[in-house]
Amino acid sequence: MTKTMDCPACKGLVSSEAPACPHCGHPIADSQEERPARNAAAPKKSPKFLWVLVLMILVAVWMVSNEEDAAPPTAVQNSNITYAEIEKAKNTLTDIQFEKLAKGLQEKRVNWTGTVVDVHKSMGDYEALVDQDNTGVQDVYLTIDSGQAERLRKGQKISYAGTITRVSNTLGFTIVRMDDVTVY
């Protein structure tokens, strides 16, 4: 059975076995041989836009994930809370309530006065241990520079400003840790 096709030149109906179109004389056999050759020679187009799209999505996901990791630092705020008020809260609040208060005090800057119990070097940092409630026991740990460490003496009354980094209730004692300390 002979198949029919449209003539590539005049679009007339032609037998696929005919050597030429009976309507316009266009060679049929040559056009059939040329087509596969043209199709075979045509380069396959890769979906470059798809690769670009995938790359853009990956970059966007990476940027969003890095934005979350690089949240802006919390601004330090001044606070008028005293050590005595923190100690009183420890004695009146439940552990859960005190933990919430302690977390809220992080990054707060305070100005306090206390007595130096000792100064030592811990893990490469200088620390001044300060008694805030006149019990002779260190209640506050101040991270200080070497110049400040060399000037402080046991029993010395000092005034200082620092940023609270941690407040904890350890064995019934309220312990406050501070960074960015200036001793006056």
Residues forming beta bridges with residue 112, ordered by sequence position: 160
- CA distance linking residue 140 with residue 128, whole number of Å: 8
What's the pLDDT score for residue 38? 46
Contacts of 162 (CB under 8 A, 6+ apart): 109, 110, 112, 142, 178, 179, 180, 181, 182
Instruction: Identify the CA nearest to 113 among candidates 80, 82, 77.
Output: 82
Q: What is the structure's pLDDT at 65?
A: 67
Residue 29's pLDDT is what?
66
Contact assessment for residue 142 and residue 159, using Cβ atoms and an 8 Å cutoff: no
Quote the pLDDT of residue 59.
Answer: 83
Burial of 141: CB neighbours in 10 Å, binned 0-12, 13-18, 19+: buried
Q: State how far the Cα of 47 lies from the Cα of 11, in Å rounded to an integer.
A: 33
For the segment(s) 77-183, the CATH number from 3.40.50.261, 1.10.3720.10, 2.40.50.140, 2.60.40.10 is: 2.40.50.140
> Does the pTM exceed 0.85?
no
Q: Do β-strands 4-6 and 13-15 pair in parallel, antiparallel, or remain unpaired?
A: antiparallel
Helix (H) or strand (E) holding 102: helix 95-105
As a whole number of angstroms, the distance between CA 76 and CA 13 comes to 86
Q: What is the full DSSP assignment across 144-175?
A: E-HHHHHH--TT-EEEEEEEEEEEEEETTEEE
Amino acid 89 reads: A
Domain ranges of the chain: 4-69, 77-183
Q: What are the 10-residue block averages of pLDDT along the chain, 184 residues in total? A: 81 84 79 48 64 83 63 66 91 91 94 95 92 87 94 95 92 90 92
State the CB neighbour count (10 A cutoff) for residue 97. Answer: 12
